[in-house]
Amino acid sequence: MRREEDHNVPRHPHLEEKTSDVASGSYRPATIPKHRVISIAVSSQKGGVGKTTVSINLAHSFARAGVKTLLVDADPQGSVGLSLTRQSRLLTGFYDYLADPGIPLDRLIVPTRLETFSLVASGQASDYEAGGGGMGTHLARVRAFLRSIAARGFDLCLIDTAAGLFGVTGDVIASVDAIMIPQQAEPLGIRSVPKLLEGLSRLRVVNPRLNVLGVCLTMVQNDLAESTEAAASLRQLLPQEMVFQTQIPRDGLFVRASARGLPIGVLEDGAGAQVVFDSLRAEIEAKFEPSYGQQAAYG
């Protein structure tokens, strides 16, 4: 589906972008990638576990550290789009790119005030318009997307996916370098983890180079026995390297930030919570050493 008004890409109301970025080096012709971009999907079978919250805040942490970061909303009901503008539904986004091979990548990329941080909304085409849930349908297009990003000099592409491991999300997982799995620290949530890992081993067949970064415990309530016990039992259930040391605490700040569609680090009182995501970032960087450390463009 083609929409002419897409040329007037609305700008982010809070993270006022540097408009000059639009016409800058990101418009290099798509030839051989300038360097390698690392792509990470943030996925889980369940919804409401903190995927979007982790994606936005982690992407912001990388960008603040000077890593040229692209945050992609690959959830058709996505809310990363919210962080763009209330009119985010008018943005040409990821699903439009999948549905229409005529759309150039440049039309999707929305710069922010932070020079190293850009976003791609989910767009107007729904999952259905993009061809429905058949896995493999969008593989070629998803891979073209990732190649085009590399050609534009991004260091990192973080993809916030819809819940579940099939359909477009399956194609994303089959194409990225790595995956991380947010997991709510409550008993019911923990019980679904073995099933998730089973699903992931199936996806490793599709994508043998998939690097499973691990499970990230979210919404941990340190003052609630059920929550800390759930976190502890997950750590017993999985190999140590499969669970991030960093746990995301349950904090009203995240709800406030997501209502405004912002990374917490941008809130006046968000500096403390930002530290949590900086430590998650450090863990991810360590998992990519040495290749990542050599290539990331720290400013």
Ligand X SMILES: Nc1ncnc2c1ncn2[C@@H]1O[C@H](COP(=O)(O)OP(=O)(O)O)[C@@H](O)[C@H]1O
Query: Of ligand X, Mg ion, none, which one sits near residue 218, judging by CB under 5 to 8 A according to partner kind?
Result: ligand X
Q: Checking DSSP bridges between strand 38-42 and strand 178-184, what pairing results, if any?
A: parallel
Here the tokens at position 123 are: 């767009």
- Cβ proximity to Mg ion: between 50 and 214 the closer is 50
Q: Considering the complex, what minimum distance in angstroms separates the CB of residue 271 from ligand X?
A: 16
In the bound state with ligand X, the residue whose beta carbon lies nearer, of 79 and 116, is 79
Q: For Mg ion, what does the binding mask look like between residues 5 and 44, x meaning CB under 5 A?
A: ----------------------------------------
Candidates 73, 59, 105; CA nearest to 169 is: 73
| Residue choice 48, 132, 187, 194 for contact with ligand X (CB under 6 A) | 48
Q: Which of 296, 277, 289 is nearest to 55 (CA)?
A: 277
Q: Residue from 95, 244, 254, 277 that binds ligand X (CB under 6 A)?
A: 254
Among 45, 92, 148, 258, binds ligand X (CB under 6 A): 258
Decide: is 51 part of the binding site for Mg ion (CB under 5 A).
yes
Select from Mg ion, ligand X, none the partner in contact with residue 254, using the beta carbon and a kind-dependent cut-off of 5 to 8 Å.
ligand X
Got the DSSP string for 80-142? TGGGT-TTGGGS--HHHHHH-TT--GGGT-EE-SSTTEEEE---SS-TTTTTTT-TTTTHHHH
User: Between 22 and 212, whose beta carbon lies closer to ligand X?
Assistant: 212
* Sole binder of ligand X in the list 224, 255, 275, 286 (CB under 6 A): 255
Minimum distance, C-beta of residue 130 to Mg ion, in the bound complex (Å): 17
Distances (CA, A) of 179 to 26, 215, 296: 26, 9, 18
CA–CA gap between residue 48 and residue 69 (Å, rounded): 24
For ligand X, the binding residue among 17, 39, 51, 214 (CB under 6 A) is 51
Determine the interface stretch with ligand X among 24-32, 141-149, 248-256, 287-295 (rule: CB under 6 A): 248-256
Burial code (b: 16+ CB inside 10 Å, e: under 16) for 129-160 equals bbbeeebebbbebbebbbebbbbbbbbbbbbb
Q: Which residues bind ligand X (CB under 6 A)?
A: 47-53, 79, 218-219, 248, 250-251, 254-255, 258
